[in-house]
Amino acid sequence: MASLVTPPRLGIVAAMSLVRTDSLTEPLTAGELQELKQRRRRGDFGPQAGVRQLVLGALAVVFLGTVTATGVGQVADVVRHGHWNLFGVVWLLALASMVFALVRRLTPIGGWRAWAKLARFADHNGLTYRMRSADPSYPGLLFNLGHSRASTHHIWAPQGVLADVGGYTYATGSGKHRKDFEWHFAAFRLPRRLPHLLLDAKSNNMAGFSNLPVVFAANQRVSMGAPFDDDYTLYAPEGYGLDAFYLFGPHVIERLVQAQADYDIEIVDDWMFLYTRQRQDLTDPATWQLFQGIADEVLSRFSRVAQRYHDQRVEGLATGVLAAAAAADARRASPGRPAVAPQGQRLRNGLDLRTVIVVGAMVGLWVLLQVLR
């Protein structure tokens, strides 16, 4: 259970420093663009596209060329005869969708010069821009899924509240069964380690189902009452409901609801992660203003409460496996960042109801077919 103790002498986590966004709106000069291109070729912004990306790009160009030629032939047929045919319409729609998908996949928001603006923005604010960083070592729920994991077009800082923000991709399966997933995230540092908490935003759910790729056991849901429950489903490890109430006090909840950010929020170890499937435009000053608001209005209040939090279960553990695990966590936590008992460090996964529905429907269809025979 949570208890109030004297705050450690770490000081309250400072609000995120206000970033300068003028470099995002001012046009790039020819000299700036040339210099940034030279730095890109030197690898200052991370590795260039790998062999797989180059091969896929070449195949896509060949395929699109074939489709384009076919589409042009259909347009010529329209011009000659003055009428559309279904085949031509289908080909042109397919061409448009594939071109859009390819451009969206291979370029950051804002076109081919967006990466240059992000690089200049990072320079002006003492940050680091990378086009791609393989296998980021974060503890969040997204960062251990699948394979070929990478942060993409992201900006990070070695210190401060806002640690990293950008895109994130991973893949499952291989060959023709390979499926690629694209997310966008922001990582904030917390002043100490905390129990694992998840706020599943209802605004980005589909048909009542969470958009998150991981499902947690339903008995870990914690109701905070309206208006919080109208916007989020909160998960806390079993037995940590009161801790969640303590950490998400009325002032924190008020600021969180007012922020109206369309993100799922995960608190794990000493990190807070924001996740979204929607593309967050880092070249838009409004995106950075949103992060500034979250840091100033939500995270600053949450951090003040978090620094007073203490997990009494750590002292109450008997000797044995759990005590050893807690001791190991305490060593990682350091004297200024107290440990969390093992049972509070991670949420338990649950059964995906969508899978149950699909399997049930398949079984029902099979039974129906057997009856109709």
**Is the pLDDT reported for residue 92 higher than 60?**
yes
Q: Are residues 76 and 247 in contact, defined by beta-carbon separation less than 8 angstroms?
A: no
Check residue 6 and give its pLDDT.
31
Does 289 lie in the same domain as 151?
Answer: yes
Is the pLDDT at 234 greater than 50? The verdict is yes
Residue 139 and residue 101 share a domain:
no
Q: Quick one: 274 and 131 in the same domain?
A: yes
Structure-token match 């490890």, residue found? 237
Q: Which of 53, 71, 106 is the last residue of a domain?
A: 106
DSSP-H helix ranges across the chain: 22-25, 30-42, 51-81, 86-106, 114-124, 228-231, 241-247, 250-259, 285-293, 300-308, 313-316, 321-333, 342-345, 353-372
Residues 303 and 202 in one domain: yes
- The yes-or-no verdict on residue 222 having pLDDT over 90 is yes
Distance CA 334, CA 65 (A): 58
Q: What is the mean pLDDT of residues 255-284?
A: 89
- Residue 216 reports pLDDT greater than 80: yes
Residues 208 and 187: their CA atoms lie apart, in Å, by: 27
> In 10 A of CB 12, how many CB atoms?
13
**Cα–Cα distance for residue pair 134/353, rounded to 1 Å:** 32
Same domain, 175 and 92: no
Say which residue, 101 or 227, is predicted with more confidence.
227
The answer to whether residues 79 and 142 belong to one domain is no
Sorting pLDDT into bands at 50, 70 and 90, what band is 250?
Answer: confident
Range of the domain at 281: 22-27+125-345
Q: What is the mean pLDDT of residues 169-192?
A: 94
Determine, yes or no, domain membership for 236: yes
Can you give the pTM of this predicted structure?
0.75
Query: What is the spatial distance between Cα 129 and Cα 46, in angstroms, rounded to a whole number?
Result: 8
Q: Give the pLDDT mean for 119-147.
A: 95
Of 91, 59, 273, residue with least CA distance to 187: 273
Residues 157 and 222 in one domain: yes
63 and 208, same domain (yes or no): no
**Mean pLDDT estimate for the chain:** 79
Give CA–CA dist 344/239, Å, rounded: 8
Specify the DSSP class assigned to residue 337: S
Domain count for the chain, please give it: 2
Residue 116 domain flag:
no
Task: Report pLDDT for 89.
Answer: 64
Half-sphere exposure for 56 (CA within 13 Å, toward CB): 10
Average pLDDT on 72-82 reads 59
Highest mean predicted confidence (pLDDT) among 75-79, 294-298, 336-340: 294-298
**In 10 A of CB 230, how many CB atoms?**
9
Phi-psi domain of 301 (left: phi exceeds 0; alpha: psi -120 through 50; beta: other): alpha
- Note whether residue 185 is domain-resident: yes
Regarding whether 214 and 77 lie in a shared domain, the answer is: no
Residue with the larger pLDDT of the pair 140 and 103: 140
**Tens of pLDDT along 97-120?**
766 655 555 555 555 688 999 999
The rounded distance, in Å, linking the Cα atoms of 199 and 197 is: 7
309/207 same-domain check: yes
pLDDT of residue 84: 57
Assess whether pLDDT exceeds 60 at residue 34.
Answer: yes
Flag whether 209 is in a domain.
yes
Q: Is the pLDDT of residue 353 over 80?
A: no
Residue 44 DSSP code = T
DSSP class of residue 310 equals -
**Pairwise pLDDT comparison (7 vs 372), residue with the higher score:** 372
Same domain for 186 and 88: no
CA 131/CA 218 separation, integer angstroms = 38
160 pLDDT above the threshold of 60: yes
pLDDT at residue 251, as a whole number = 83
Q: How far apart are CA 207 and CA 211, in angstroms?
A: 10
- Placement of tokens 């100033």 in the chain: 296
Do 95 and 202 fall into the same domain? no
Q: Which residue has the higher pLDDT, 194 or 92?
A: 194
**Distant-in-sequence, close-in-space partners of 287: CB < 8 Å, separation ≥ 6:** 280, 281
- Is the pLDDT higher at 257 or at 9? 257
Question: According to the model, what pLDDT value does residue 8 have?
Answer: 33
